[in-house]
Structure 1
Amino acid sequence: MPTKAWSQPIKIQIGFGSRRVEGPFQALIHLAEHWPRRTGPRFVRAGIACKAAVEGRIDAEDARQEFLEAAKEVGLYLH
């Protein structure tokens, strides 16, 4: 199972702290366990893309972009 890291981690806010998400596998964990709203097209696309990247079906950077957009949508992305 490929676990390729992204070129740049994405920093997200979880509760009162922050976490660095460094690749699609970590992103899937955060989508499943820490996401505030598990609905909507960005959430769904991020989940599909990250799973596909973990399975080696798409480039990890494409999954990064989908995860980034999903994080922005729910206000978790930290600049």
Structure 2
Amino acid sequence: MNEGWFSKVVPVAVGVLGDIRHVSNARQANDLLANHWPGAGTRKHLDAKRACLAAVNGMTTVEDARETFVEAAREARILIE
């Protein structure tokens, strides 16, 4: 398994205080999606989990995983744009 480095970090606000995290790879995104996601269980959330795990395992491109993660973060209103 690899880290699945993104070409550009994805800044998100997480936690009660909205701490900013700079997600730089699919492994970090997958951890956030699995363990710290607000409102988990939506279609975009599940798609992002699948895509990030697939990118870590070399089954899809890292940029596809990044794009899917960004859409899920936007839906969850944690993406910092």
Instruction: Please state how far the C-alpha of 1:11 moved relative to its aligned partner.
Output: 0.2
Secondary structure, in 3 states, of the residue corresponding to 1:8? strand
Cα distance in 2 between the residues matched to 1:49 and 1:33: 16
**Cα offset for 1:4?**
2.5
Q: Give the match's secondary structure for 2:6.
A: coil
Structure 1 partner of 2:59: 57
Shift >2 Å, 4+ stretches: none
Query: What residue ranges of structure 2 are gaps of 5+ in the alignment?
Result: none
**Bigger fraction of residues in strand:** 2
Aligned residue identity for 1:10: V
Root mean square deviation of aligned Cα: 0.7
Long gaps (5+) in structure 1:
none
The number of aligned residues is 79
Normalised by the size of structure 1, how large is the TM-score?
A: 0.96
Residues 1:36 and 2:14 aligned together: no
CA deviations over 1:18-77 (Å, ceiling 9, x no partner) = 000001100010011110111111001000000000000001000000000000001000
Indicate the percent of aligned positions where both proteins have the same amino acid. 35
TM-score normalised by L of structure 2? 0.93
